[in-house]
Amino acid sequence: MTAPVVLITGALTGIGRATALGFAREGARIVVSGRHDDNVASKHAVEGFTKAAALEFAETGVRINVVAPGTTETGMLNRFTGTPENKANLISSVPMKRMAQPEEIAEAILFLASDKASYITGASLAADGGKLAR
């Protein structure tokens, strides 16, 4: 049996990067797309992938699930909040009173892609520190 092939968009920073590294540790072949070519830090083979190819990939009948991340420590969050005060205000609205690390969101993604979730498809998993449950 060959290693599974995993498509990850936005795989060069933040949650995408943590997810790509997590799948690589599990032995998957990684197909990535992103906008920062000089930022690939994995020793595993990667290939470029276009958005059109990604849509074609999804039409092959694979299980498709969604992980909806909440407030996560990423460069994007820092750009969005702009100031430490804004960031603290955002964090205070999370019931768990903390941000997720990109690796925590990646673990949720790895779970949904694993055989442990083989009967789950079409699902949206909120990994948001309890915000949706409020």
**CATH number of the domain residue 42 falls in:** 3.40.50.720
Domain residues for the domain of 39 are 5-127
Question: Could you tell me if 69 and 128 are in contact, meaning their C-beta atoms sit under 8 angstroms apart?
Answer: yes
The total domain count for the chain is 1
Query: Which pLDDT tens digit goes with each residue over 53-75?
Result: 656 666 777 877 889 999 999 99
pLDDT band at 130 (very low <50, low <70, confident <90, very high): very high
Sheet holding 46-47, edge to edge: 5-9, 29-33, 46-47
- Within 13 A of 119's CA, how many CA atoms are on the CB side? 0
Give 101-130 as a DSSP string. PHHHHHHHHHHHHSGGGTT--S-EEEESTT
Structure-block tokens of residue 93: 């609205």
pLDDT at position 48 over 90: no
| Whether 131 contacts 102, CB under 8 Å | no
In a domain, 134, yes or no: no
Split at pLDDT 50, 70, 90, the class of 119 is very high
For residue 58, is it within any domain? Answer: yes
In this predicted structure, what is the pLDDT of residue 40?
46
User: pLDDT, tens digit, for every residue of 91-102?
Assistant: 999 999 999 999
pLDDT confidence bin for 30, thresholds 50/70/90: confident
- pTM here is 0.79
**pLDDT digits over 5-28, tens only?**
888 888 888 999 999 999 999 999
